[in-house]
Amino acid sequence: MNVDGTPFRTIWLAEDGETVEIIDQTRLPHEFVTVALNSVDDAAYAIRSMQVRGAPLIGATAAYGMCLALRKDPSDDALKAAYDLLLRTRPTAVNLRWALDELKTLLLPLSEQDRAASAYRRAAEICDDDVAICRSIGVHGVELIREVWERNGKDRPINILTHCNAGWLATVDWGTATAPIYVAHEEEIPVHVWVDETRPRNQGASLTAWELAQHGVPHTVIVDNAGGHVMQQGNVDLLITGTDRTTAAGDVANKIGTYLKALAARDNNVPFYVGLPGPTIDWTITNGSEIPIEERDAEEVTKITGRTEGGEIETVMITPPESEAANYAFDVTPSRLVTGLITERGICAATAEGLAALYPEKR
């Protein structure tokens, strides 16, 4: 996707072919800064501090973190230590475990001298596959947008509400929830996106709004609590979000607040679709209550960061100093509230049968 008209991915290799470069997402939307990752510790820090975030990008960064570890020390001990370090960074997005397992299974049987090169090859493949998966989610998902547009006589833009950032910044490119939006934009189907601000870290207001603006997609930022109101007013045609982990039976873990949007969508007959890449399906569980929910630092709730009129980036306190705060980062939307899952293989019902029909090899 474009940054000031130049196409970017969210993760790439520097000219030396080994150093990993990322966009520091903690600085957006105020500053576009890239950061070099030179070690597995840098990669773990980037994930933990949310310089990179979003389920698919967390997986891709972890894969490159293994490469950075192995180029220094290709031993079994170093491989296992890197795996454990990276796995501990964030608990909810299953792409992390998936990518690390891919690398570990591939590398452990290899001789030490072959490991680093093979790791770099597999990490690059994981990134390229993610781009292809997301693009394909876009190609399938755009049909939902086209259908509403044609049903309405092509007389107005299609309103899509999204939560958090499941855009290209959360993946390697295209995004999951945003891929159908970008494909619609490319195909000149007019769309307008309601962007939930997504407290406490404001991934919607800071990241989704920024990338839609960079790409020229019309959008409006709303506070998290406004979603129900705009749905009641008949101003939302589709709710589309991403997911950090979806069970084999279709329960969807995503950014905190997704569940409330799903409830409001059901009450207002707004279809709720989830952009779901294959590596985000946890085939080992069927019940959403088994998904570990990350709890983050309370300071993300008690403080807020922004740019002053003078251009300074400042963090200010918004709660009384004596008040405690809880910071649940994700929630689980039960499959019964999900209209459909948009995968790279097509759209299916959020059920065990729906997913098994698209991924028969996982049966």
Give the residue numbers annotated as catalytic, written as ranges: 244
Residue of 303, 345, 336 whose CA lies nearest to 135: 345
Tell me which of 61, 159, 208, 243 binds ligand MRU, using CB under 6 A.
243
In 3-162, which ranges are continuous DSSP H helix? 40-48, 55-72, 76-87, 94-107, 112-151
60 belongs to the binding site for ligand MRU (CB under 6 A)? no
- How many whole angstroms separate alpha carbon 89 and alpha carbon 55? 12
Tell me which of 255, 265, 272, 354 binds ligand MRU, using CB under 6 A.
255
Compute the CA torsion angle 349, 263, 166, 66 (nearest 10 deg): -80
115 belongs to the binding site for ligand MRU (CB under 6 A)? no
329 belongs to the binding site for ligand MRU (CB under 6 A)? yes
Q: How many CA atoms lie within 13 A of 56 on its CB side?
A: 32
Query: Per-residue contact track with ligand MRU, 341 to 360, x per CB under 6 A?
Result: --------------------
Tell me which of 171, 206, 302, 343 binds ligand MRU, using CB under 6 A.
171
- Counting every residue written for the chain, the total comes to 363
Our CB check for ligand MRU shows the closer of 248 and 332 to be 332
| Nearest distance from C-beta of residue 173 to ligand MRU, angstroms | 11
Residue of 153, 179, 157, 137 whose CA lies nearest to 340: 137
247 belongs to the binding site for ligand MRU (CB under 6 A)? no
28 belongs to the binding site for ligand MRU (CB under 6 A)? no
Q: Which residue is nearest to ligand MRU (CB)?
A: 242
**Residue 351 DSSP label:** S
Our CB check for ligand MRU shows the closer of 66 and 93 to be 93
221 belongs to the binding site for ligand MRU (CB under 6 A)? no
